[in-house]
Structure 1
């Protein structure tokens, strides 16, 4: 069979070919896509990310639920760090490799997964250089777009940007817009319901009630709530020495509780629910928050979920509680 000469190619065929070329060259978005890759401004620089990657290693908790919502199944995840109620399918799937935790990540497992994209950052941020070496070998990319408290605009704006970027990468722009719209509505509801109420930001860890402002302060920052301890808190991994009596003396109108015990306890151990820990405190008997049932217990897995869905649902929970008490 003879090959067609230049003269035998019709004008319509030439136009069709030209359109395909122009389409491929101009498939750009607000974040700078080009061809089969997308240029993303990330914490680790401007990264060329493949569009619609098929072998994704997902390390960042803050992105996990959004990636899942977009129908993406990763090839490797840190199974011990995922919320069991949300990711049971991933955790139980033998075809999804377990990379361990951020304390001892299994780099060989990540390398064997042959990733074309590693969604890194957050708890795994210190391993970015090591992960980049892996994707340099596979021809993929390591991307840190984790939502952080010190990002421009705070974690809230970072969550919105992260969702938009993931939508671009996986071709789910419309879904990303819907996720962001839902979150914005929930955050706005909490803003509208908060008007200067005093609050204690609490963490239950090791069966004890402590100051959780380090983790929850940025969470409530967009709201008009007054922290009775002015945001002062130590590392949530350590006991600050705050006593129930000191909390009772501060007598906040509201308490917002993050139950770290429920999120990190594994195996057969059953942590004492945060509500039971609060109910057992004799010092709280005469407080305004206990008398009025003004204790908001966040999702027990809030500590490990941490993404836009978790934040949005928690804002709605706060909006509903404050609204009902108005």
Structure 2
């Protein structure tokens, strides 16, 4: 009997030690998880905010941020996948919940992924308040370029802030450095006496992208200090550009033409897609324009309309610089 009692006592001691060890392991794991999480404080368009990082559920709806987040390997639980070009790997990830096109979004579905961080903006900027209502626990980040601020520095601010949020400061600095280097190449090789025309190809037609205000191309007139070939009394930010006749383009006789091919990104509204360069080359009215005769037509990357990231602008600026340097 004494032997059995001793044995039972020994077993109880082992069990107690096991439970203590398990408890210690659980506590250690909990402490480790706590150590892995940190509060990041940053400033966006609405002021100072904070978020617990790494976030468990990240949602992204801002087209300017997709390529950056993708290149950093940030995992998304939901996003505006319908707005992403196929150059972004998120479009191939079936686990990401697609919130849909901004015109008919499925906003309510965001609650199913229980987001704690939403990178919102551009076409989805109008839904910020709705996201706050649907995901009150989430930190909503708004980094759209602010009106009245230089567009180039706003792109850099967005990139730098995202770097702070996701602890990708070095990667963000590299993107900013590359962008500034490409920008400098353009300004160093551009002759201010050369006039520039900004155009948008959409629906098989050419629209005018006005300096400063025009979609995508317009802001480059400011931060590259380009000389406009044509300035209209009234202009807009319309995604298809403003109405302008090819005769008006021909009359302004630009030395350089920069084109954003919207159709290349979303398809033509017409029966058949016609590349922007083809539209220009096949226009009889433009045959004698200096830019056409000299081959000084530079088309932005094909996915630009749905990927207006800092990387897209860097790619274009380097291509523009190549053309400018070759023309010297």
Report the TM range for the smaller structure's normalisation: 0.7 to 0.9
| Structure 1 residues 104 and 135: CA distance shift in structure 2, 3 A | same
- Kindly state the Cα deviation for residue 235 of structure 1 after the two structures are TM-superposed: 4.5
| Structure 1 residues 219 and 49: CA distance shift in structure 2, 3 A | farther
- Kindly state the Cα deviation for residue 80 of structure 1 after the two structures are TM-superposed: 1.8
1:255 and 1:294 in contact (8 A); partners too: yes
State the alpha-carbon separation in 2 of the partners of residues 112 and 270 from structure 1.
39
Aligned to 1:123: 123
Moved over 6 A (4+): none
State the alpha-carbon separation in 1 of the partners of residues 42 and 241 from structure 2.
40
Partner residue of 2:199 out of 198, 202, 223: 202
Indicate the SS of the match to 1:221: helix
2:78 and 2:98 in contact (8 A); partners too: yes
CA deviation vs aligned residue, 1:42-90 (integer Å, no higher than 9, x gap): 1133222222213110001111111111111211111221121x21x32
1:135 and 1:142 in contact (8 A); partners too: no
Aligned to 2:97: 97
2:209 and 2:242 in contact (8 A); partners too: no
Equivalent residue runs for 1:1-326 within 5 Å: 36-84=38-86, 86-87=87-88, 89-136=89-136, 139-146=137-144, 148=145, 150=147, 152=149, 154-196=150-192, 197-213=194-210, 214-215=214-215, 216-230=217-231, 233-237=235-239, 240-265=242-267, 271-326=273-328
- Kindly state the Cα deviation for residue 240 of structure 1 after the two structures are TM-superposed: 3.8
Aligned to 1:5: none
Indicate the SS of the match to 1:62: coil
- Kindly state the Cα deviation for residue 266 of structure 1 after the two structures are TM-superposed: 8.1
State the alpha-carbon separation in 2 of the partners of residues 241 and 167 from structure 1.
39
Indicate the SS of the match to 2:152: helix
State the alpha-carbon separation in 2 of the partners of residues 317 and 210 from structure 1.
22
Question: What is the RMSD of the two structures over their aligned residues, measured on CA atoms?
Answer: 2.6
- Structure 2 unaligned segments of length 5 or more: list them: 1-12, 17-30
2:70 and 2:90 in contact (8 A); partners too: no
State the alpha-carbon separation in 2 of the partners of residues 239 and 56 from structure 1.
33
State the alpha-carbon separation in 1 of the partners of residues 146 and 248 from structure 2.
28
- Kindly state the Cα deviation for residue 270 of structure 1 after the two structures are TM-superposed: 5.3
Flag the structure with larger Rg.
Answer: 2
CA deviation vs aligned residue, 1:275-321 (integer Å, no higher than 9, x gap): 11111100112111111111111112111111110111111111111
- Kindly state the Cα deviation for residue 239 of structure 1 after the two structures are TM-superposed: 6.7
State the alpha-carbon separation in 1 of the partners of residues 291 and 300 from structure 2.
16
Aligned to 2:8: none
Aligned to 1:16: none
TM-score (norm 2): 0.82
| Structure 1 residues 103 and 275: CA distance shift in structure 2, 3 A | same
